[in-house]
Amino acid sequence: MSTAPAQGRQPPAPVPAPTPAWQPDTVVLHAGYDGLQHQRSAAVPIYQTTSFLFEDAQHGAELFDLVQEGHIYARTGNPTQTVLEQRIARLEGGTAALAVASGMAAIDITLATLARAGDHVILASALYGGSHNLVVHVLQGRGIASTVVGRGDHDALRAAFTPQTKAVFLESVGNPSGDVADIAAIAALAHAQGVAVVVDNTSATPLLIRPLEHGADVVVHSATKYIGGHGTAMGGLIVDGGRFDWQARSDRYPQLTHPDPAFHQVVFTERYPDAPLVARARTVMLRNAGATLAAHSAFLLLQGLETLALRMERISSNTRAVLDFLQTQPQVARIHHVAHPGHPDHGHATQYLRGSLVPGLLSLELHGGRPAAQRFYDALQLFLRLVNIGDSKSLAAIPAETTHHLLPDAELARVGIAPGLVRLSIGIEHPHDLLADLGQALGHAQTATALPASTPDLELLQEPS
């Protein structure tokens, strides 16, 4: 498993761990990097190379046998990527991380590390459309079954476990629903069955929620979103919590606890007891499947990561301003965000969100349904019409026509996505300009139909009974 450039017979000295006093604002700038080990470069260099030199034959053999730590071939890592991995692991409170080519690759590699043909995965929340399609349809073609349970339906979750269940997968903050999962309750149910919990923390980021603190075992991210923050590079991340007792469930997870024929018969729980999942994901899944993060992309994601704390503060304050504004607009029928005390997940938000920050993802529905939503969407001038989230710029999408268009109508209804639902990802622009753009777009959406006198309630998509 590569953690540092091979520079001699012994691995380089580890970067000193930060003191407990370091806050996330400092971690994103300094963790995992010592310029004295990189030709005194103050900025993290881009290691634009495919391969790394061996001192001699023995050195090469020891690297391949995992006797020494070091980089061998850029498919499995490079020093630029390593800094990104160490910073994210520190931010999430994990023991190790792996950076890959995209968020979807992170999910795929994680679940492929845990589950094989004949196994089973549970989806415990309404997911981003691509994630849902991957688990329900693509993994099914590989022989991995899945069960979808409703948000908060703990009885259905309890009944869904089988001896073949290898993971419960959920999103900390749902996309596009914005719901906040009860991570601790879901983790308690899963752990009672000896099953690992994987949480997609893309929409929250570790600045808002740290799932590992609430019982999650693995965290994944689309680094393309808030971590990068500028819409310039794709990337995904897998964080090993280092707490799940894989050995106690040896028969359920033999790929981690038994000799692995895909990598020199290594027993990953013995060779890497603190992070066996990430170790296997790197040496088996990434090495053989090749969803590699480019060094330049790792550099761009690091540049974005440096301002994550500042951006999330501005995104949060802008989101509150947008919510306050939308509540006063008669064209708006429903607003979907967890900030309101009447929201069914408001208690979860109070429990899990760190500090006073709120997620920057919200959705709305207009009186007039889909035609009104399309007029509103087409009239936006400052909000960019595209399918990304988490950019510094404010973005807008209609999920039923884009990110979730592969889902049948019945599944869209089950996860609470109306045909006219508009998803907004709030950025860091001046709030005055955001409100002005929303106001003029709402004016275009207004129809001749009389609007209700009351203003909308802040509420989240309800899970149908």
Dihedral sign for Cα atoms in the order 58, 61, 67, 72: positive
What's the pLDDT band for 126 if we cut at 50, 70, 90? confident
Eight-state DSSP code of residue 266: B
Eight-state DSSP code of residue 214: G
CB 176 within 8 A of CB 361: yes
What's the pLDDT band for 402 if we cut at 50, 70, 90? low
More confident residue, 195 or 405: 195
Instruction: Compute the distance between CA of residue 3 and CA of residue 126 in angstroms, rounded to an integer.
Output: 35
Residue ranges of the chain assigned to CATH 3.40.640.10: 24-305
Where b means 16+ CB within 10 Å and e means fewer, 389-402 reads: bbbbbbbbbbbbbe
CATH class of 309-458: alpha beta
> Which range, of 88-97, 136-145, 450-459, averages the lowest pLDDT?
450-459
Instruction: Compute the distance between CA of residue 85 and CA of residue 297 in angstroms, rounded to an integer.
Output: 13
More confident residue, 129 or 23: 23
CB 1 within 8 A of CB 69: yes
Dig out the tokens for 194 from the structure. Answer: 């000896």
pLDDT at 269: 97
Residue ranges of the chain assigned to CATH 3.90.1150.10: 309-458
Does residue 182 surpass a pLDDT of 90?
yes
For the segment 429-440, the average pLDDT, to the nearest whole number, is: 98
Instruction: Compute the distance between CA of residue 452 and CA of residue 422 in angstroms, rounded to an integer.
Output: 20
Dig out the tokens for 301 from the structure. Answer: 């994601």
* CA neighbor of 440 nearest in space, from 331, 316, 327, 337: 331
What's the pLDDT band for 292 if we cut at 50, 70, 90? very high
Does residue 178 surpass a pLDDT of 90?
no
**What SS3 state is found at 97?**
strand
More confident residue, 1 or 256: 256
CB 205 within 8 A of CB 226: yes
Instruction: Compute the distance between CA of residue 322 and CA of residue 438 in angstroms, rounded to an integer.
Output: 9
Dig out the tokens for 292 from the structure. Answer: 């590699």
> Tens digits of per-residue pLDDT, 302-344?
999 999 999 999 999 999 999 999 999 999 998 989 987 777 8
Which residue spans within 196-329 are E strands per DSSP? Answer: 196-200, 218-222, 236-240
Estimate to the nearest angstrom the gap between the alpha carbon of 288 and the chain centroid. 23
Instruction: Compute the distance between CA of residue 177 and CA of residue 194 in angstroms, rounded to an integer.
Output: 29
Thinking of the domain 24-305, which architecture would CATH place it in?
Answer: 3-Layer(aba) Sandwich (3.40)
pLDDT at 448: 40
* CA neighbor of 357 nearest in space, from 368, 365, 349, 345: 349
Tell me the backbone φ, ψ of residue 234, rounded to 5 degrees. -90, 150
Residue 427's contacts (CB-CB under 8 Å, 6 or more residues apart) are 315, 318, 360, 391, 392, 393, 394, 395, 434
| Arithmetic mean of pLDDT over the chain | 88
Eight-state DSSP code of residue 136: I
